[in-house]
Amino acid sequence: MRATLHTLEQTIRQRRNADPSASYVAKLTTKGRAKIAQKVGEEAVETVIAAMADDRAGVIGESADLLFHLMMLLADLDIPLDAVMDELDRREGLSGIAEKAARPKD
Ligand SMILES: N=c1c2ncn([C@@H]3O[C@H](COP(=O)(O)OP(=O)(O)OP(=O)(O)O)[C@@H](O)[C@H]3O)c2ncn1[C@@H]1O[C@H](COP(=O)(O)O)[C@@H](O)[C@H]1O
């Protein structure tokens, strides 16, 4: 998962300055951050609609669209994917800390 997303991150960063007539990444980038953010919102809503219809194939396709457009938004903000991954790792480290603290000591 992390390797796939890192490859996609590199591809997106390389394609941002490509010819917009030949590249979706370049075309959307030229439309600006507000348009990229709007696409993230649209894909999120489409994912929710597919989920509520119990459309598993739809959820998979829309989730891929959502992750891709979120990666485009991160690239536009120059936020590395690793910043998000590190935050998830930090939260994983935190999980269960309160529960462990509440347990009686042996
Ligand atoms: N993963 C994706 C990817 N996922 C979705 N999309 C595009 O995202 C768009 C979303 O579809 P929609 O129907 O919501 O939107 P649309 O009607 O095309 O666009 P709007 O004008 O309505 O916003 C489609 O055009 C898809 O082709 C993607 N386009 C590119 N990639 C990756 O980006 C790489 C570089 O792509 P290019 O920049 O096109 O070379 C590719 O090799 C892929 O790995």
Q: What is the C-alpha radius of gyration for the chain, rounded to an integer number of angstroms?
A: 18
pLDDT of residue 106: 65
| CB of residue 46 inside a 6 A radius of ligand 1 | no
Asked whether residue 75 is assigned to any structural domain, the reply reads yes
The residue range of the domain holding 63 is 2-79
Q: How far is the CA of 103 from the centre of ligand 1 (A)?
A: 49
Asked whether residue 92 is assigned to any structural domain, the reply reads no
Number of domains making up the chain: 1
Which has the higher per-residue pLDDT, 13 or 103?
A: 13
Asked whether residue 100 is assigned to any structural domain, the reply reads no
Asked whether residue 61 is assigned to any structural domain, the reply reads yes
Asked whether residue 65 is assigned to any structural domain, the reply reads yes
Give the Cα separation of 57 and 87 in Å (integer). 29
Looking at ligand 1, which atom is closest to the CA of residue 26?
Answer: 38
Asked whether residue 98 is assigned to any structural domain, the reply reads no
Asked whether residue 16 is assigned to any structural domain, the reply reads yes
DSSP assignment of 36-98 equals HHHHHHHHHHHHHHHHHTT-HHHHHHHHHHHHHHHHHHHHHTT--HHHHHHHHHHHHHHTTHH
Asked whether residue 84 is assigned to any structural domain, the reply reads no
Looking at ligand 1, which atom is closest to the CA of residue 64?
Answer: 4
The enclosing domain of 16 has a CATH number of: 1.10.287.1080
Q: How far is the CA of 25 from the centre of ligand 1 (A)?
A: 7
pLDDT digits (tens, 9 = 90+) for 55-100: 999 999 999 999 999 999 999 999 999 999 999 999 988 877 667 7
Give this complex's ipTM: 0.91
- Dihedral sign from CA coordinates of 18, 23, 27, 28: negative
Residues 12, 75 contacting (CB under 8 angstroms): yes
pTM of this prediction? 0.89
